[in-house]
A and B are shown apart, each in its own frame.
Chain A
Amino acid sequence: MTESTPDSLFRPDNAAWRSLSPRYVVVRRLSALLTSLVFWCVAAAASWIALQLTWLTAVIAGVGLAWTAWRVVRAGRWVRSWGWAERDSDLCITHGLWTRELTVIPFGRLQMVEVSSGPLLRSQGLANVQLITAAVQSRATIPGLPHADAVALRDRMIELSEAGGAGL
């Protein structure tokens, strides 16, 4: 696999990195199963009803099954690839297995912090935190935090963004 690169490049030691909640793996797996169930089953059923081609239906079902299995297996590593850290004046978020990403946002630039959670996330007591600056591209999300942590993070961010208030 390609994750052999030293982690330090995208997860430098100059910050205390924190991970997502392990329960978020469950959410990812469930949502992979659910979306696959809907998408691939409907596709397979439709191809069977419309075309009556056994081989096509088998291929669709096989691909769907493989993709779902891949996502379910992968979910654990994917969730563990996420990391976020609060430094003195900025927030760092890193994630990704194939494509690695490191986003650094100064607290002073945060315009809005949103906490959201859907039914799946709520069932595990988790929430997503979305950080919004004046630039659309720099929109960053930390998914799957325990709800209390998410709310605490939001409040802390807002406080820090006021203190570091760089205006615009």
Chain B
Amino acid sequence: MTPSDSMPEFLPPDAAGVRSPAEQVHGAVPEQRPTDAGRPDFAADRASAWPAEKPTEDGAAPAASGSVLTEERPHPLTPIVQVWVWLVAMVIFFGRQFIENRGEIIPADLGRFPWWLLIVGAVGLVSVAWNLWTWWTTRFIATASEFRVEHKGVEHESKRIAYQRIQSVDVTQRFAARLLGMAEVTIDVGGDAPVRLQYLSRTRAVELRDFLMRRAHGLTPSTAAAAAGTSAWDDRGVHDRVLLTVPAGELVLGAALSHELLLLVLAAAIPLVIGVVTATPLLIGGGILPIAISIASFLSSRVLGQFRYTLAQTPAGLRITRGLTSLTSETVPVHRVQAIRIHEPVLWRLIGRARVDLSFLGLRGITTNEDGAGASSIMLPIGNRQAVDVALRALWPDVDLDAIALRPGPRAARWISPLGWRFIACGWDARVLVVRSGWLTRTTWVVPHARVQSVRTTTGPVRRKLGIATIEVHTSDVFRAATTVMAEPAASEFAFAELDRARQSRQRAMPTLDTPAEGASESLGFSHG
């Protein structure tokens, strides 16, 4: 038994304990683990792990060949998918030629081609060749201890991902890939840029995702049977339990009642008014048309990107699936979630709707509502109170926001924030800190004490006269700090008190915050709408 065998293969990162700070910063650099080729369950592993195929025996396996579970290339159609825009353009062009020239696709005289088309064609062919070469020289290799992406093209490159370093694995089906039944796998390793595997067949991608997630969670392959049964429309395994779906009507409603749409409509009103006043109908048409187009694209991006949003409890954790043109399926790394924000824009408050954002380590940036693929900060695009509760409880089963009494901010805060001071509030229980602010969009932060990175109290000449101070609670890079205002003596005590709570919270080891909440929300098979 090697020392690493005596403990579970993977502990939740919080429990993984002692890592040097530098290592945490460069956490994505997968250090070479001792190869535990002598693991007793290795044979069982090989039989039921990600690959159903036998490992290739062509000698391409590197030094630690004994532990290679599988090795394979990306899907052969990958080069085509990567240049699909170019292909579509070509098909359209030649299609038009075909129709215009009655069946003659390539004109006899090449000089009739516009020069730019030749360049586009040449660039396209070169990139197809390049992609083909990349495809040929790329291998995905799973070993007993790590996942490797070997690239032996012009430059040799080997990305090694230790299973414990994997934060989350997403399966994205971009439009073209989806048409051809292929998917991209994005492996998020925390600090560094995520590793993208382009492309695998859909089934293979899901198998790989499940395999990697099981390994990342240290589960033996037998504890979670492969949850196949995915399609171009959803990504739902046999063991998955749907907690929440958002119907398209909700998304349309949310988009229709958003600030952005209001601004666009106001923008459209300007040329309309000017045109009517000056009696120039041309101006009305010319001014409104582009705005109408942007309204349409705004509505479609809001609705399409989150289309068929589904939150499901799976054996590997929470999974969110969404998108009409690109289907994104991401596994929420519950134990990496740093904070959530509940947004209630002013118009949404009228209909009792809210949006939930979450931030976890490894998240690149805030996702707005675009048809973005990959890891997203949106946990719930729109939902009523119950839906928000379901989402929250799926994440942290024993956090009850209603039970936390919020203390309003000091009256003196009205001098520095005349509109928003009424909404400033802050409260906490043993587990989470809740900070609320904002009059146009009311934002409620929920930060587990254990996730607080630091607390800063600031005051300036004006605030000091008013006897108040600003408090920032820093969580992760993606969200700005949760900011609130408190009266003076309480404010400077708060920083220390909050850190004491954070320490106690960490010492309690937070079993529910650290482990994916499996089966913790048994009674919540709730699907609204």
Contacts and interface: CB of A to CB of B under 8 A. Distances in A.
A162 to B, nearest CB: 5
B417 interface: no
A34 B81 CA distance: 58
B357 to A, nearest CB: 16
The A contact surface, by secondary structure, is mixed
Contact of B17 (A14, A111, A133, A165): A165
A89 interface: yes
Given A137-B481, A162-B20, A165-B19, A105 B453 contact: yes
A165 B11 CA distance: 14
Interface in B323-339: 336, 338
A115 B452 CA distance: 24
Contacts of A50: none
A14 to B, nearest CB: 7
A21 to B, nearest CB: 24
Contacts of A133: 453-454, 474
A105 B498 CA distance: 11
A132 B474 CA distance: 12
Contact of A2 (B190, B461, B493, B506): B461
Contact of B503 (A98, A106, A165): A106
A106 B459 CA distance: 21
A109 B475 CA distance: 10
B502 A168 contact: no
Contacts of A106: 452, 454, 499, 502-503
A101 interface: yes
B292 interface: no
A136 interface: yes
A58 interface: no
Interface in A104-163: 104-106, 108-113, 132-138, 140, 158, 161-163
Given A5-B464, A134-B453, A162-B20, A12 B475 contact: no
B453 A9 contact: no
Interface in B1-59: 13-22, 24-25
A98 B459 CA distance: 8
Contacts of B503: 89, 106
Contacts of A166: 14, 450, 506
A99 to B, nearest CB: 4
Contact of B476 (A90, A101, A132, A134): A134
B496 interface: yes
A100 interface: yes
Contacts of A98: 460-461
B15 A167 contact: yes
A9 B495 contact: no
A122 B419 CA distance: 49
B21 A113 contact: yes
Contacts of A5: 464
B454 A135 contact: yes
B293 to A, nearest CB: 37
B24 A168 contact: yes
Interface range for B:
35 or more
B477 A134 contact: yes
A167 B499 contact: no
A16 interface: no
Contacts of B13: 167-168
B21 A9 contact: no
A46 interface: no
B460 A99 contact: yes
B518 interface: no
B502 A9 contact: no
A10 interface: yes
B493 to A, nearest CB: 8
B454 A140 contact: yes
A102 interface: yes
B131 interface: no
A103 interface: yes
Contacts of A99: 458-461
Chain A CB count within 10 A is highest, among B338, B452, B475, for B452
Given A106-B502, A167-B19, A168-B14, A101 B457 contact: yes
Contacts of A14: 496
B102 interface: no
A111 B25 contact: yes
A101 B458 contact: yes
Nearest to B481: A137
B203 interface: no
A99 B415 CA distance: 17
A118 B491 CA distance: 36
Nearest to A88: B503
B466 to A, nearest CB: 12
B182 to A, nearest CB: 33
Interface string B163-174: 000000000000
Contact of A10 (B15, B19, B457, B499): B457
B472 A137 contact: yes
A104 B455 contact: yes
A90 B498 CA distance: 11
Contacts of B475: 135
A168 B11 CA distance: 13
Interface string A73-113: 00000000000000001100000001111111110111111
Nearest to A93: B456
Given A137-B481, A167-B17, A102 B492 contact: yes
Contacts of B454: 103-106, 109, 133, 135, 138, 140
Interface in B459-488: 459-461, 464, 469, 472, 474-477, 480-481, 488
Q: In the A-B complex, list the 6 residue pairs whose CB atoms are closest, starting with the nearest.
A: A138-B454, A138-B474, A135-B474, A135-B453, A167-B14, A105-B454
Interface of B: 13-22, 24-25, 190, 336, 338, 361, 450, 452-461, 464, 469, 472, 474-477, 480-481, 488-489, 491-493, 495-496, 499, 502-503, 506
9 contacts: A12-B496, A14-B496, A105-B453, A134-B338, A134-B477, A135-B454, A137-B456, A161-B21, A168-B336
